[in-house]
Structure 1
């Protein structure tokens, strides 16, 4: 049986107010293309214009036009969506303001306005989602994607038309009042005893990890030592829980055999890596955690390692203050 596909007779464009003045973040779309998204924060209003144009100047009948602000957490086996929406008797009305929300288990496409309309020429509508809640930070990982977007839906008898426009959300956390140092030991009885220390356990995205490694006992021939940052993404819940780990960076901090009493300094700048904040049990859907992984390799290629979780947060960027003459 032959399949027939028809191009949409409608062009829909979503323009966000003031997007040129906002910081931009690159993200991958569903088609693996890179798109640029303006950055918003929790409580920011999301406003702009929707332009709808009928191709070839033909008349178009519709059963309602709807604009929504959607926050979704999607994985390969489930999705959760929060929606802010507004339907009107004549489709989309200028200066609509959305302050409430409903939560559903999947997509709100099932809701449609029963009011019909007719369009013959291009029309532009304003929208304003005022002080809308954006509870979580945007995230794009291996098996999970947390995104926010404006969706315009035009209900038609033959086929609905939908257009989405993504934004990116950043969430700030204040620096912790207490930030204890990390002290741990690696040892093999009568063969190896190492102590290592990191200056703190919580870092911001532009922070520097400072530490030291002390060799208290060395009776095996160590060839080299390396330190790596590992990101571990967890989705689902037992028994259907999935873990994916990726190495963000790995570098050698020692080459050659150390001696007893030797101290090796560590200084790792986080600003050059593609990191996100730590996410813990976000909406009971996923977590993303970071670990410092210290590995020692001896001359027989045996590996000894110690792993320690660290917390990464996003803090407000400090404005640049120029010195006064």
Structure 2
């Protein structure tokens, strides 16, 4: 998976990650295009090769140094000035001189990458290695090679039973219960909905998983909501004393682990939400936060 880049006839830059034959692959969609990224975990060693080929037709190109940087960056389309380097490490490939055909092997041993990659609505966490050819009186020449970071959670997050009630005095009393609030990404959510009183003519009941992506810029906080999935629990009026089991699978949903206050600016949180719709289309709802964590890394992840 080499990545070659041509800079207007000046040179070509290739970056290749090595020792990746057995690595999982993450398929991401960005700008309507698919990219296959090798998956690494925190403290993995990142090995590779950089190759620069100077264009024969040009005169000698002077530069003031060539460097390679490995970094993880929190980026937001809402406020590019608020982008933050989460982790970084720089290696000098060449001192000032004349550009020529060169090849370098590189290694970032046991590089600490505690935050997972993320591709969201307005915010992303990206990891890449970047080559920069620095020049005195012209724009620097850059090329990057992106990869993905996924980390297994060694500790299961604290989980508590969920019980939520929807009630209107003398008209409606419903609760729904789930035995835990923390789930791994391939888990099954099991629960039960109990009807104690339902004098309101209900038409539908749905359970949804809602994602909230929260980004804090310099002076403002932006929140984006996205419905990840919706399950129809009931179509029609319930009967007093009725109890309906709930069971749905997370494996094929496009969800990520929960992110909390990354760099004190960014969070991704998920909520289990119950919607009731009556015959007048009036909606009642209750929600409770649930926590997602990663228990395994798939070989090819196309979520």
- TM-score in terms of structure 2 length: 0.89
Q: Retained in 2: the 8 A contact 1:229–1:293?
A: yes
Q: Which residue of 2 aligns with 1:108?
A: none
Shift of 1:240: 0.7
TM alignment of 1:152-167, pairs within 5 A:
152-156=131-135, 157-167=137-147
Q: Does 1:138 align with 2:117?
A: yes
Shift of 1:237: 6.1
TM alignment of 1:23-102, pairs within 5 A:
23-29=24-30, 32-56=32-56, 58=58, 59-75=60-76, 76-77=78-79, 78-81=82-85, 82-87=87-92, 91=94
Q: Is the strand fraction higher in 1 or 2? A: 2
TM alignment of 1:181-220, pairs within 5 A:
181-220=161-200
Q: Does 1:303 align with 2:245?
A: no
**Inter-CA distance 15–251: structure 2 relative to 1 (3 Å threshold):** same
Q: Deviations over 1:73-113 (max 9, x none)?
A: 1112111113201226xx1xxxxxxxxxxxxxxxxxxxxxx
Q: Deviations over 1:219-267 (max 9, x none)?
A: 1111111111100011006951111000001121101111100011100
C-alpha distance in 1, partners of 2:285/2:98? Answer: 68
After superposition, the CA RMSD in angstroms is: 2.0
TM alignment of 1:237-256, pairs within 5 A:
240-256=220-236
User: Larger relative contact order (C-alpha < 8 A, sep ≥ 6)?
Assistant: 2
Q: Which residue of 1 aligns with 2:23?
A: 22
Q: Deviations over 1:152-201 (max 9, x none)?
A: 00113433210011110012213537532211211000000011101210
Pair member with larger Rg: 1
C-alpha distance in 2, partners of 1:238/1:73? Answer: 14
C-alpha distance in 2, partners of 1:278/1:296? Answer: 26
Return 5+ residue gaps in structure 2 as ranges. 1-6
Q: Which residue of 1 aligns with 2:4?
A: none
TM alignment of 1:5-16, pairs within 5 A:
7-16=8-17
**Inter-CA distance 123–249: structure 2 relative to 1 (3 Å threshold):** same
C-alpha distance in 1, partners of 2:282/2:99? Answer: 72
Q: Retained in 2: the 8 A contact 1:230–1:248?
A: yes
C-alpha distance in 2, partners of 1:38/1:219? Answer: 55
Return 5+ residue gaps in structure 1 as ranges. 1-5, 92-114, 320-325
